[in-house]
């Protein structure tokens, strides 16, 4: 029986981006180091152009959950550019919601599991609400970023639009109202 070796993100960026696009996260090992108390990601997470070339949302968090880096697809999904490295924690989305539509406090978002206990979050559904009220159902995968001693020093969230599901909380109230009128044949 052949054994697969984990691909460190310090290895080939092309291999890592292919695995991210394919949703093949089992073999990815995200690494970084602390420099002057701040996360310095390695591999593809250290290369902004490489991150921007991947058409799924990717963002990086320090151990204190501060959003320090994101790609263009994350910004598009959030409908805004977060203030990186400041007070934005856990996610750059304007507002998060559970699939039911209830507001999800950022400190309870999937990255908090990774930051607080070093686990991973796989295939979680989260609604990202943009400042204009548009909502995107995201399929979220969050992984720890570890140092050479295998200590968790940050996290990376990789999310994509989950088009395979519809959930009650997905539409904004305005869109939901308009949609229900259209469904009922009202003008």
pLDDT at residue number 173: 45
As averages over each run of 10 residues, the pLDDT of the chain (187 residues) reads: 40 71 83 95 94 96 97 96 94 94 96 93 94 93 96 96 74 43 37
DSSP state of 54: S
pTM of the model: 0.82
Q: How far apart are CA 30 and CA 169, in angstroms?
A: 32
pLDDT at residue number 20: 86
Question: Taking Cα atoms as reference points, which of 125, 112, 116 lies closest to residue 159?
Answer: 125
Three-class secondary structure of residue 48 per DSSP: helix
Tell me how far the alpha carbon of residue 95 is from its chain's centroid.
14
Q: How far apart are CA 112 and CA 182, in angstroms?
A: 39
Q: How far apart are CA 31 and CA 165, in angstroms?
A: 32
Tokens 């559970």 correspond to 98
Q: Are 93 and 103 in contact (CB under 8 A)?
A: no
């Amino acid at each position: 029986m052949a054994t697969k070796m984990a691909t460190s993100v310090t290895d080939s960026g092309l291999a890592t981006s292919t695995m991210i696009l394919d949703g093949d996260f089992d073999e990815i090992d995200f690494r970084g180091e602390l420099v002057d108390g701040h996360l310095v990601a390695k591999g593809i997470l250290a290369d902004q152009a490489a991150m921007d070339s991947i058409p799924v949302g990717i963002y990086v968090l320090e151990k204190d959950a501060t959003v320090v880096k994101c790609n263009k697809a994350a910004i598009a999904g959030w409908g805004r550019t977060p203030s990186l490295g400041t007070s934005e924690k856990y996610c750059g989305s304007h507002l998060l919601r559970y699939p039911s539509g209830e507001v999800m406090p950022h400190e309870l978002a999937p990255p908090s599991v990774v930051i607080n206990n070093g686990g991973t979050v796989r295939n979680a559904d989260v609604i990202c609400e943009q400042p204009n009220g548009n909502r995107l159902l995201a399929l979220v995968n969050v992984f720890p970023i570890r140092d050479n001693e295998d200590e968790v020093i940050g996290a990376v969230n990789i999310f994509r639009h989950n088009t395979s599901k519809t959930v009650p909380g997905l539409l904004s109230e305005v869109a939901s109202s308009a949609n229900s009128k259209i469904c009922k044949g009202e003008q």
